[in-house]
Structure 1
Amino acid sequence: MSQSVIPAPSAEVKGVAERSAPGAGERIARALEKSWRPFALLLACFGAWWVVAAAELVEAYLVPSPGATLDVLLEKTDYVWHHTWVTTYETLLGFVIAVAVGVFAAVVMVYSQTVEKTLYPILLFAQVVPKIAIAPLFVVWLGFGIAPKILIAVLIAFFPVVISMVTGLKAVDPEMLQLSATMGAGPWQTFVKIRFPASLPHLFAGLKVAVTLAVTGAVVGEFVGANEGLGYVILQANGNLDTPMLFAGLLVMSLIGVVLFVLVEVAEKLLLPWHASRRGTDVTTTF
């Protein structure tokens, strides 16, 4: 009995159009199309901020003007840069440790149900405990150095990494695993060639969340006990009613999170060009 072969969709089939690879101009146009709305919203927010400050709807010591905030950043560039670097360093180190430990824990949990049943409730319990509540304990144990800040950043960023990695490793098509076993691949080969690559989209989704949470963790640690970092800057500005510096610290802290998120997004685009969300040439339906 002959088997019928279903032809691949082509541009000649009604309702289907083949999309060619986008050129440089088209890619720039797409980037602008995606980015103009967020920029417009940011401009609107800054415009509303300027209007509130200029009309003196709120006292200046409560909400400084954008100009006053920018003046503080320009006048104390070295001061702000030093504390920004401290927070960035704590964030990156905590994020890297959280990724390494989280990926390892996820792999162990997926390959051992005993470990998963034992470790998962503990991870859930550790996640629901407010980090701001246990941060003073870390300061008592580890002192006022950099270690408590990194530890808090690790604890906050760890959960999204391990959960997304476990989900990705379990989301592999069972038929691919059966095919791998049929072809004689061992557990390590199956992991390297099938499980790990298939889990990367889920992992990167978790990394985007984790890298922004790591900034929060580092700043929380600085709130509790520190003599440098953006958390320290914000606390000092709050105590001195220096709202321009307080707003400047908040803006820089937000900028760190945005930049790190974009870097993870770029890494995902470079490492996962094969993923469906990254394909540039697809057959797309037109109805």
Structure 2
Amino acid sequence: MTSTSAANFSSIPILDFSLLNPDQPPPSKQTFLSHLRHALINVGFLYLKNHTVPQHIIDKLTIEHISKLFDLPQNAKDKIKMANNEHFLGYSRLGTELTKGQVDQREQFDFGTKHKCRWQKGDPDYYRLWGESQWPDEELIPGFRETLETYLEAVEDLSYSFSSLVAEAFGLGPNGLNHFYETKELMQHRGKIVKYPIVTGGSDQGVGPHYDAGFLTFLLQASPHEGLQVQNLAGEWIDAPPIPGTFVINIGKGR
């Protein structure tokens, strides 16, 4: 199989994180790394099942809190709108963003892992990008902040483990990518909670074709509704339907 034909994939590979458990025979890890290398080089997307983020945290977030978050009164949402925050964290109304000149029909909240802005006069301006999240009032949605912060920390831990596996898949050793990162205390990771409403008339674009700029994206498809697609080198759009118990992971395209 040539590299071109391999990259004209017709499905998204599913990788099993449990192959890395200590009680698995040694060849299991090599099998995982081989599958990961294929996904990284030829697809750029994968499903990860049997991961380390506790299911009860995912259930608490998605079942108890997410619908309540979007059902908040509009004035409560606007109180934490992104325009109020120099760290680009907060709420964005439906139709606020564009992708390739077309309106995105999505409503969203952007939150970050715990972080204090460390920018001081004379520091690079990009330090301003990292800082504290804006949160809805606790009495309006009790327990949401604690649950989401716990979830983000769990995904963050998984991401560091996964980054080490990416390095190993490329033969660099588990620490092969570490020099690209700041220490954990100086980094901030972001989570976006998105709702795509039913649209009647006009554009039905939830979010248009795009690349993610970050190194890794961990996408939790929190409903059974399909919509995510991935494009192969032939220009074909391949469905990536929700699979319970998985994250969709994609490799971003840095600029």
**Range into which the TM-score falls when normalised by the shorter chain:** under 0.3
Pair member with larger Rg: 1
- Name the structure with the higher helix share: 1
Kindly indicate whether structure 1 or structure 2 has the higher relative contact order, using CA contacts under 8 Å at least 6 residues apart.
Answer: 1
TM-score after normalising by structure 1: 0.20
TM-score after normalising by structure 2: 0.22
